[in-house]
Amino acid sequence: MNLESAPQGVVAGSIPLFAGHPARDLLPLDGIQGAIDAIWRGEGATRLFNYGDEQGNPELIEFLVKRLRRGEGLEIGPENLMIIGGSTWGVDMISDQLTQAGDVLLVDAPSYRDALHIFHDHRLELRDVPIDEGGILIAEMERTLRELEAGRRAPKFYYVVPNFQNPSGITMPKDRRRAVIELSRRYGFVIVEDDVYCDIRFGDRLPPSFYALAGGENVLRIGSFSKTLAPGLRIGWLIGAADRIAAFVGSGLLTMGGGANPFTAAIVAQYCRSGAWEAHLRWLREQYRARRDIALAALESLMPASVTCTRPRGGYFIWLGLPSSLRVDDLAAAARERNVYFAPGTGFFVDPADGLHHLRLSFSFLPLEDLRAGIEILGDLIRQRSR
């Protein structure tokens, strides 16, 4: 595989087990080309090269609202959904609009590294709360909230990846979600639900979203086409109460820029409305499920028994626990020598020391032979170093 032009720090000829991107052979290039051809020939082509509607492409909004109403029974209308330039844009915009420097947020321990980066950019104070295989520990969350309250503080929001979490791959069950909503009402914080992996599920139905369980009250839910179509399109969506969406749409970011990425939003709208996205999703789930199975089988046969791993039922990631005698930075240095790169656990915690014995593997990006080879090399290195 030619990795030379791959972005995001992928070194040519290496095995990048960290890369949380869709695999190149899973990008529906022909379908996207077809959508571009169709809108290029369409009567509105010149419109696409101008500023767009502040709320985003109306056809895409209509498509997504209908899909969410039909698929999840969400009681939303077009006033509850806006188009954004990917989840990243949403996380940044929400931080910008809902917080001021010095405010507190709650996040999971571990949590998505790049979201932590955005929160640091906004000079926010982060309190992370431990998770288990069912997500955030409610008693610990409550303890943190009480501690903050004693200092006359409350978090502005709780940032959570509810399904197939990055980095752990876990999904929070319904009861836990309800308990979080109960706390959010009692302590008055917003829930920001970054749900970019919900469409990459390998089996059972998912629990209802926070948005659905809370009846839309005080929840902002983010979706994205990055994981199910192509990240380069930079298109996602944000769902919330009508007044919150109106406030975001009326912000300087949208009024000055004229809505998120009008040209690629039109491509995505055309692609989705033709039925191509649903068909692609069905195929994609099979592809990712096969990759997950191969990664788990390789971990089972090639890792020493002292290594633990999660068994995600969707998404892109597996979270590994190392023996306590082995530091992940030492393992990363040794792996680098063998041309294998992974995401050390240290990046996913507010205090990096909490991640010294964990790492994240991604099964989404690599060809199967590289995935297996990378896991085999890691297994060897762990065995050598934890004797």
Ligand X SMILES: Cc1ncc(COP(=O)(O)O)c(C=O)c1O
**Does 345 engage in binding with ligand X (CB under 6 A)?**
no
Task: Out of 231, 259, 345, 347, name the contact with ligand X by CB under 6 A.
Answer: 231
CB contact burial 241-268 (16+ within 10 A = b; e otherwise): beebbeebbeeebbeeeebbbbbbbbbb
**Does 88 engage in binding with ligand X (CB under 6 A)?**
yes
**Does 166 engage in binding with ligand X (CB under 6 A)?**
yes
SS3 107: strand
How many CB atoms are located within 10 Å of the residue 202 CB?
16
Q: What is the DSSP letter of 226?
A: T
**Does 162 engage in binding with ligand X (CB under 6 A)?**
no
Question: Residue 167: phi, psi to the nearest 5?
Answer: -105, -10
* Residues of this chain, 1-20, that bind ligand X according to CB under 6 A: 20
| Residue showing the smallest CB distance to ligand X in the complex | 86
**Does 347 engage in binding with ligand X (CB under 6 A)?**
no
Cβ 56 to ligand X shortest distance, Å: 14
| Nearest CB to ligand X, comparing residues 97 and 325 | 97
**Does 163 engage in binding with ligand X (CB under 6 A)?**
no
Cβ 109 to ligand X shortest distance, Å: 15
How many CB atoms are located within 10 Å of the residue 111 CB?
28
**Per-residue contact string for residues 269-308; x = within reach of ligand X by CB under 6 A:** ----------------------------------------
Task: Out of 52, 207, 216, 236, name the contact with ligand X by CB under 6 A.
Answer: 236
Residue 222 structure tokens: 């983010």
SS3 83: strand
Size of the site for ligand X (CB under 6 A): 13
Cβ 168 to ligand X shortest distance, Å: 11
Alpha helices in 189-318 (DSSP H): 210-213, 242-249, 252-257, 262-273, 276-302
Q: What is the DSSP letter of 209?
A: P
Residue 89 half-sphere exposure toward CB, CA atoms < 13 A: 23
Task: List interacting residues with ligand X (CB under 6 A).
Answer: 20, 86-88, 112, 161, 166, 194, 196, 224, 226, 231, 236
